[in-house]
Amino acid sequence: MPILVMKFGGTSVANLERIENAAKKVQKEVERGYDVIVIVSAMSGETNKLVGYVEGTSKLYDAREYDAVVASGENVTAGLMALRLQEMGVPARSWQGWQVPINTTSAHGSARFMSIPCENIDAKFAEGFKVAVVAGFQGISAEGRITTLGRGGSDTTAVAFAAAFDAERCDIYTDVDGVYTTDPRVSDKARKLEKIAFEEMLELASLGAKVLQTRSVELAMRFKVRLRVLSSFEETDETSGTLVCDEEEIMESKVVSGVAFSRDEAKITLFTIEDRPGVASAIFGPLADAGVNVDMIVQNISEKNYDDAHPGAVTDMTFSCPTNQVERAKKAMEDAKAKGLIAYDELIVDTDVAKVSVVGIGMRSHTGVAAKMFNTLARDNINIKVISTSEIKISVLIDRKYMELAVQALHDAFELDKA
Ligand code: ASP
Ligand code: MG
């Protein structure tokens, strides 16, 4: 039998009625001839509640017990989904991570997959079971302890099962009906994409379009798992939602596929640093050691080039990082300064910024995207503070108050409302 993986997120299993609704979608696929692996999240709000219990009990909690508690939300929905399917006459049973077993590293709270052996579930399919309902987000370490994969991890569980079982597709049922050219809450011209390439989705996922956990897209790209994002609240068929797939499956793509944005960005500038070999390393080494995820970096051109004749040249360095890492970044810089590893006159933090990015695999073969983007922003008098680019993305940091305007203007300029 061909295998299909269907994943239901927290809002899709938020109560018994929604679990029944999801079960009906599973039943339909069984009737179409699939053996189905269903991956479930905890009921929405449940994981937050469990995290709260742990934090309310212990400040410096034992991460193994955190995982034991937090993984339990998925166990409930897996059992309930199996029961509902049985009530509907569909042979189904639940699987907790350790029963499969889903073998992971022992990095509690952010474990990674080691292996997912198929034998146990395959044996049940051979016995006549049609559905394996697997608790997402969890696994078991070599030490035999329960692990979790990090928030949003059920998406990654789903993709890992699709890869392990060589599934025809991995359908991610959620509360939106697909991936859009931008957030419809920001631009009412946002359009649902029929298909999007893995690489584009990866950029969009990491840029703040929170449809899929970034790791799940990485995994899907590596194992070429065709991923579909679709709504669990609508009637759906083979063509619903957005297919995330290899770019070869996308016949004609636009130069730019989407506009992403993130408010969760801060800018830090070190003024008057020395301009000589080793300075960047002395700045970004301590930031890395402090666990700061630096994203964009700009170093000003110094007035005088560094060379033997100008040993005293100075410049400024600006970088961006997630807002909640600003304090850590500041401390890393101040410590490095106190130790004499780096020197600067002033450190300035700007948290009133947002990052806006245009993404598209077509940029690889088309010129003029940056020019068009900057021209569009200039027309609206939006000042660009920092720029960074990759092969398929251009990002700018701007004042946060212009974020919506910038997204709308870029969406128009690249005609993303038109198919
Ligand atoms: N329930 C977990 C969370 O809320 C995992 C998931 O839903 O993907 O993060
Ligand atoms: Mg999720």
Pocket test for ligand 1, best of 75, 148, 151 (most atoms within 8 A of CB): 151
- Copy the structure tokens of residue 381: 């008098």
What pLDDT was estimated at residue 253? 74
Domain 3-175: give its CATH architecture: 3-Layer(aba) Sandwich (3.40)
* Ligand 1 center–CA 212 separation, angstroms: 11
Residue nearest to atom 5 of ligand 1 (CA): 152
Q: Are 389 and 300 in contact (CB under 8 A)?
A: no
* Ligand 1 center–CA 137 separation, angstroms: 6
What pLDDT was estimated at residue 305? 61
Task: For ligand 2, an ion, list residues with CB under 5 A.
Answer: 9, 152
Residue nearest to atom 6 of ligand 1 (CA): 152
Q: Which ligand is nearest to the CA of 72?
A: 1
CATH 3.30.2130.10 placement within the chain: 260-413
Say yes or no: CB of residue 42 within 6 Å of ligand 1.
Answer: yes
* Ligand 2 center–CA 327 separation, angstroms: 28
Say yes or no: CB of residue 10 within 6 Å of ligand 1.
Answer: yes
Homologous superfamily assigned to 260-413: VC0802-like (3.30.2130.10)
Q: Which atom of ligand 1 is nearest to the CA of 48?
A: 4
Residue nearest to atom 4 of ligand 1 (CA): 47
What pLDDT was estimated at residue 419? 82
Q: Which ligand is nearest to the CA of 71?
A: 1
What pLDDT was estimated at residue 308? 63
Q: Are 42 and 157 in contact (CB under 8 A)?
A: no
How many distinct helices (H) and strands (E) make up the chain? Answer: 12, 18
- Copy the structure tokens of residue 266: 């801060």
Alpha helix positions (H), 151-278: 154-164, 198-206, 214-223
Say yes or no: CB of residue 152 within 6 Å of ligand 1.
Answer: yes
Per-residue pLDDT of the chain (419 residues; tens, 9 = 90+): 899 999 999 999 999 999 999 999 999 999 999 999 999 999 999 999 999 999 999 989 999 999 999 999 999 999 999 999 999 999 999 999 999 999 999 999 999 999 999 999 999 999 999 999 999 999 999 999 999 999 999 999 999 999 999 999 999 999 999 999 999 899 999 999 999 999 999 998 877 667 899 999 999 999 999 999 999 999 988 889 999 999 988 877 789 999 999 998 999 999 999 888 899 999 999 999 999 999 999 988 766 666 666 667 889 999 999 999 999 999 999 999 999 999 999 999 999 999 999 999 999 989 999 999 999 999 999 999 999 999 999 999 999 999 999 999 999 999 999 98
Residue nearest to atom 8 of ligand 1 (CA): 152
CATH 3.40.1160.10 placement within the chain: 3-175
What pLDDT was estimated at residue 24? 98
Angle, helices 214-223 vs 198-206, to 10°: value is 160
Alpha helix positions (H), 93-189: 119-127, 154-164
Q: Which atom of ligand 1 is nearest to the CA of 155?
A: 8
